[in-house]
Chain A
Amino acid sequence: NAGVTQTPKFQVLKTGQSMTLQCAQDMNHNSMYWYRQDPGMGLRLIYYSASEGTTDKGEVPNGYNVSRLNKREFSLRLESAAPSQTSVYFCASSAARIFEQFFGPGTRLTVL
């Protein structure tokens, strides 16, 4: 079992460029989440998906889009990256919405 995997691990973008962060889980979980982590601010929810085919906004969705491709995969897209999106991005999954979450290793994104 790989658990939750994320690609890439590191990425540097220029302002205005686009990219997609990939996330996959092999635990047959229904719920998946995208968080960003900034110093002193903990984990802030960007988007989540309670089940395949559904997505909902979290606390900080502006500037991001998501796709729940299937039960395993949940991707996060930055259409036009901005320096304010420099952060560490974590994907997580859980069996249900308010249960234990399993996190991926994270993607460290820098936008210049």
Chain B
Amino acid sequence: GQQVMQIPQYQHVQEGEDFTTYCNSSTTLSNIQWYKQRPGGHPVFLIQLVKSGEVKKQKRLTFQFGEAKKNSSLHITATQTTDVGTYFCAGANMKTSYDKVIFGPGTSLSVIP
């Protein structure tokens, strides 16, 4: 079945450094979503990418969807302590599993002030 992987599992950065997390799917995706979960909280939707090669920006966050629609990345420029949390990607393949969105295991980001 479809699998979604993320690397790294954990990342510790100094405040002000950049951060990138990568998401890879075993199958071609119809779309990919990114969520952020603060410690002790619940996942909160950040963005959805649909088109091959799509790039979207939200302030210091840049999201990319690969040309083959099998991978994605989230890049944070100049991290701040407010960026602490776990970042999940979630993908769906409408051709094989229309109903299900599969979440990756997440990347936990720690920011050292």
Contacts and interface: CB of A to CB of B under 8 A. Distances in A.
Given A42-B88, A106-B42, A99 B105 contact: no
A16 to B, nearest CB: 29
B112 interface: no
Interface in A40-95: 40-45, 48, 50, 56, 58-59, 90, 92
A99 to B, nearest CB: 7
A98 B101 contact: yes
Interface stretch (B14-22, B43-51, B74-82): B43-51
A90 B9 contact: no
Interface residues of B, number: 25
A110 interface: no
B9 to A, nearest CB: 7
B103 A98 contact: no
Contacts of B98: 97-98
Nearest to A33: B101
Contact of B48 (A40, A50, A56, A100): A100
B69 to A, nearest CB: 13
B50 to A, nearest CB: 10
Interface of B: 6, 9, 30-31, 33, 35, 41-45, 48, 88, 90, 92, 94, 98-106
Interface of A: 35, 40-45, 48, 50, 56, 58-59, 90, 92, 97-106
